[in-house]
């Protein structure tokens, strides 16, 4: 047996024959988390996360309100815009985020690409529907904000838990 050490992961033991094979890749495909550094207003088409090197499975995707919204009736969601292909919804539009206070959460439920995002005013809620066995598969490309109706004034910080589905996949927060 040979050993491969990724400085960000535990020791992975791989048979020596597999290490010498040109058809075998060893990758850390454990669950990871990322968040945007800054909180910004929801803007239609604004890039939130960039995925390079291959697809990921999004396990949870939420936004937390940092500064309150005004009374504008804004409907928000997310979409994935793959490097190949075109933009596709990964959540349906929420109910309005008008007048949401700091601490409110918008969460993608991942039962279908059209399922409305949930809004939790007190910040406590279900991040995925109980019937969902897996998350949403998203190809290399970007995850971006969608504002279906209205504009937003409050600022939101985005958080995502994900699993890379192959070696060399990198996810970057874009603000």
Q: Tens of pLDDT along 26-54? A: 678 899 999 999 999 999 999 999 999 99
Residue 125 banded pLDDT, cuts 50, 70, 90: confident
Q: Residue 110 is part of which domain span?
A: 28-173
22, part of any domain: no
Q: What is the DSSP string of 74-127?
A: -EEEEEEEESSS-EEESSBPPS--TTPPTT-EEE---SSTTSBPEEETTS---S
pLDDT recorded at residue 133: 57
18, part of any domain: no
Element (H, E) at 18: helix 16-19
Is residue 10 scored above 70 in pLDDT?
Answer: no
- Whole-angstrom distance, CA of residue 101 vs CA of residue 27: 41
Residue 1 banded pLDDT, cuts 50, 70, 90: very low
How many structural domains does the chain have? 1
């Amino acid at each position: 047996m040979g050993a491969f050490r990724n400085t960000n992961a535990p020791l992975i033991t791989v048979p020596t024959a597999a290490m010498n094979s040109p058809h075998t890749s060893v990758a850390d495909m454990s669950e990871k988390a990322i968040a945007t550094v800054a909180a910004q207003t929801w803007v239609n088409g604004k890039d939130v996360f960039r995925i390079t090197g291959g697809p990921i499975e999004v396990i949870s995707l939420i936004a937390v309100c940092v500064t309150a919204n005004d009374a504008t009736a804004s409907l928000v969601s997310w979409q994935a815009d793959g490097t190949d292909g075109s933009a596709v919804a990964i959540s349906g539009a929420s109910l309005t985020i008008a007048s949401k206070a700091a601490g409110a959460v918008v969460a993608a439920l991942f039962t279908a690409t059209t399922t409305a995002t949930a809004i939790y005013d007190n910040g406590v809620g279900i991040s995925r529907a109980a019937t969902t066995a897996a998350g949403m598969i998203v190809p290399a490309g970007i995850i971006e904000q969608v504002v279906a109706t209205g504009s937003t004034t409050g600022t939101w910080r985005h958080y995502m838990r994900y699993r890379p589905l192959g070696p060399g996949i990198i996810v970057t927060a874009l603000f």
